[in-house]
Amino acid sequence: MAFCSHSPLITLLTLVLLFPAAIASRAQLTENYYDKTCPKFNEIVHRIVTEKQIATPTTAAAVLRLFFHDCVLEGCDASLLIASNSFNKAERDADINVAIPGDGFDVVTRIKTALELQCPGVVSCADILSAAARNLVNMVGGPHYTLRFGRKDGLISRADRVEGHYARTNMTISEIINLFSSMNLSVQDLVALSGAHTIGFSHCNEFAKRLFNFSTTAETDPALNRNYAEGLRKLCANYTTNPGMSAFNDVMTPGKFDNLYFQNLQRGLGLLATDNALVTDPRTKPFVDLYAADQAKFFEDFGQAIQRVSLMKVKTGKHGEVRRRCDAFNNLQQPQTLNNKPQDLNNKPQASNNNPQDSNKQPQDSNNKPQDLNKKKKISSA
């Protein structure tokens, strides 16, 4: 045959003709993007996240959640950092994002301020957020994964665009799998990324239905460990009048990024209904069991999944900007249009099921401390 559908040359030409922007954008992101323009980039990020995490141990979970929520909507473009103004209600003021602790935003602001003094107008807020999340995961015991830099900051941030892009705690596992499948993340990615719940904490209202009037035959969810359920009921007894009450997602090692989250699921110690669903659904349970038994495999797969997330709808060139400050566009009245088509730079888009959980539900500020159910007193995390 004169035409071979598997010809490398034809395949290459097809990619060049059909996806020139994607190829060009991918080339603009590199691991050493700032080596010449801002050589102290990594040093400054490392120093500031270390100082912040030591001062406020909830920072790692806050930044990881902030990073994930930023990427899954408009892409990894720091649109979630934009503050609302009289012209626009921004993403961060959508109901699902208002509970992200201020510590996540604060550490990005500190890094940006230091970098603007060192190399003004060079480093994007999107790259700062990506690097901060990576460093903090590693600092609290998790894997160190490589990142490519060169993202531009987005020009759109709208609260009315948020609904339908994030996993909710009242979703079924099938709904979450379908949601993440739409982002080219697999079922295995879903479970690996859900492991981010090994740090962070959730408000009582996110899991209260499992504790009070669960069904006509059971006061509490029978899937919960009995002693764990009793402790949570005491903690959350007044959650309707004190909405700041919260509990650690991982009751055993809440400040350490490890695989005990998965072991907890096997023992009825999963906090959220969506956590528990991972260990009961036949599509996700094999990966829960795998990661519960093999922390190295969990770290490997988490690193690969979060790398894919970090390349979602990345903006480069004219599709973005390098903001002077992370909470505001360079021009006050940025046109809130959807004409720019950012590129998804994942090398292997996956047409499979998946989705990480809405990682690390957390109170609005770090003064609301989650309850460690292994003790009889509140934990001070700030």
Residue 106's φ and ψ, nearest 5 degrees, are -65, -45
Q: Going by C-beta distance under 8 Å and a sequence separation of 6 or more, which residues neighbour residue 32?
A: none
For the annotated catalytic residues, the residue numbers are 69
- Pick from 274, 298, 121: nearest CA to 195: 298
* End-to-end Cα spacing for the chain: 69
d(CA 371, CA 255): 13
- The amino acid occupying position 16 is V
143-148 contacts at long range (C-beta below 8 A, 24 or more positions apart): 143/299, 143/300, 143/302, 143/303, 144/303, 145/303, 145/304, 145/306, 145/307, 146/31, 146/307, 147/31, 147/307, 147/310, 148/29, 148/30, 148/31, 148/33, 148/310, 148/311, 148/345
d(CA 287, CA 282): 10
